[in-house]
Amino acid sequence: MTKKSLSALLAALPPEPRVVPQPAAVKVIVLDDDPTGTQTVHGIPVLTEWSVPSLEAGLRDPAPCFYVLTNSRALPVAAACELNREIGRNLTAAAARTGLAFTVVSRSDSTLRGHFPAETDALASALGGGFDGTLIIPAFFAGGRYTIGDIHYVADGDTLTPAGETEFARDASFGYRASDLKQWVEEKTAGRIPAATVVSISLEDLRARGAGAVAAKLTTLPRDGVAIINIAARGDLAVLTEALALTERTGKRFLFRTAGDFVAAYAGIAPRPLLSNAELRAADSATGGLIVAGSYIGKSSAQLEALFQGCPGVTRLEIAVEQLLLPERRAAEMSRCRAELESRLAAGTSAVLYTSRRLITGADAQASLAIGEKISSALVEIVRSLTVRPRWFVAKGGITSSDLATEALGIRRALVLGQALPGVPVWQAGPESKWPGLAYVVFPGNVGGPDAIRQLVAGLIG
């Protein structure tokens, strides 16, 4: 499959609908397999634990939705499924206690990496089954992810590459071949759901035929079937929310496997301006800022190199992954990095702690996840042991930022403040955390151009 022009594809489509999203009538609960999924919302709580009392409080909160950070993308599939079952059971109990209804979104990667269909299957079972289908909606505009003609694309400027031909499809843990989402569903379900049975909601359905036609098509889904939703603009999402409102009024019940943009539309959250540098840094602090980067993909490495070249005042501190994987050398390598980091921050110098760039994988997906866990746990231990609070904090990579939030910073409930850059969410750490009130920048590994981190850090230093 050849690359295509985004502008040419969009020009050939019917005009984008100019309608306002119609929010869900009940609370939207987002189970997020890493913390980057909050990249399209603001003023929304994030829970990092899912006890029944915490979920009850989330249901009673006046916000239209809340997130539950599962970090399940970092887990083996069996553990991810059990986690989803546990949350599903606890949600059912919390809803029974409050008498409040809810709908669930399983938010995952816009480049199709994650435990699908295992997570949605486990969640559906724990919630009592009876769903009228699962809707696949991976569009995410700030990251350049579009679904057109059932093909999911990753954009670089005006150039669209089918997702199955990108580096993301070669992921050691979540690799795939298909770019056509019907075929991707068949591939990921190992043939249990054939491509021919997957329903497609096309852009022509959304733009030319409208919400009523889309709703009618959704009602044809077989019980536990799957539908692909083509999305190329926010207006498409708005029409989809209208269609969902029509179907849900008739008692239809769907699960959603999506990227970030659907959540904002479905919960009725309007965009807000990007956060200012002043909102991201502590005004009364003389310490340096901190960047911790664990993401290994090519985009992250290019962004780090641009940061090093463009911000020479930022200290580079590479932690050698090979040393972390050797039990006899791990502690010494961590101690070296921690001491250097503490010294730099205390002196008012900003620093980036980053993993060596050579990717080390295991013999299979589970072994690769285990290696990633060892690396992430080392970063967690270093940050958890710091005695100097940084003036600002940027975490690069989904799994890295999740582990740092929950295990290093001890965040149990955060508030999404907004975005530092398009697609880059910022949390405010809760009072229970290591550094209460800290603005914590969650920078996804696969978002932003080559200059994105340098641009952000230059503003924070300035």
Residue 211: is it exposed, middle or buried by C-beta count within 10 angstroms (0-12/13-18/19+)?
buried
Q: Which of 370, 287, 360, 286 is nearest to 319 (CA)?
A: 360
Residue where a domain stops, chosen among 267, 288, 310: 267
Tell me, yes or no, whether 236 lies in a domain: yes
| pLDDT value at residue 360 | 67
Residue where a domain stops, chosen among 241, 267, 293: 267
| pLDDT value at residue 445 | 82
Beta strand extents in 119-225 (DSSP E only): 134-137, 145-148, 151-156, 159-162, 199-201
Residues 190 and 322 in one domain: no
Query: Hey, is 174 helix, strand or coil?
Result: coil
CATH of the domain at 433: 3.40.980.20
* Cβ atoms of residues 317 and 353 within 8 Å: yes
What residue numbers bound the domain in which 77 lies?
Answer: 4-267
Residues 282 and 263 in one domain: no
Tell me, yes or no, whether 426 lies in a domain: yes
Tell me, yes or no, whether 185 lies in a domain: yes
Tell me, yes or no, whether 180 lies in a domain: yes
Residues shown for the chain: 462
CATH of the domain at 36: 3.40.50.10840
Residues 330 and 375 in one domain: yes
Chunk the chain into consecutive blocks of 10 residues (it has 462) and report each block's average pLDDT, rounded to whole numbers: 90 95 96 91 97 98 97 92 98 97 96 96 93 96 96 96 95 94 98 97 98 96 92 98 96 95 96 95 90 82 92 91 88 94 96 81 77 85 96 90 94 97 96 96 89 94 81
Residues 98 and 214 in one domain: yes
Residues 217 and 292 in one domain: no
The Cα–Cα gap between 258 and 43 comes to 20
* Cβ atoms of residues 224 and 133 within 8 Å: yes
| pLDDT value at residue 397 | 85
Residues 173 and 196 in one domain: yes
Q: What is the dihedral sign for C-alpha 111, 115, 117, 120?
A: negative
Residues 226 and 292 in one domain: no
How far is the CA of 301 from the CAs of 65, 304, 321, 360, 398, in angstroms? 34, 5, 15, 15, 15
Number of domains in the chain: 2
Residues 255 and 305 in one domain: no
Tell me, yes or no, whether 230 lies in a domain: yes
Residues 20 and 138 in one domain: yes
What is the value of pTM for the model shown?
0.91
Q: Which of 229, 224, 231 is nearest to 255 (CA)?
A: 224
The Cα–Cα gap between 30 and 11 comes to 33
Residue where a domain stops, chosen among 237, 267, 297: 267
| pLDDT value at residue 344 | 96
How many Cβ atoms are within 10 Å of 456's Cβ, its own excluded? 23
The Cα–Cα gap between 88 and 31 comes to 10
Tell me, yes or no, whether 90 lies in a domain: yes
Residues 300 and 188 in one domain: no
Tell me, yes or no, whether 272 lies in a domain: no
Residues 314 and 411 in one domain: yes
Cβ within 8 Å of residue 379, ≥6 positions away: 292, 294, 319, 353, 355, 400, 403, 404, 408
Tell me, yes or no, whether 137 lies in a domain: yes
Residues 205 and 313 in one domain: no
| pLDDT value at residue 207 | 98
| pLDDT value at residue 270 | 92
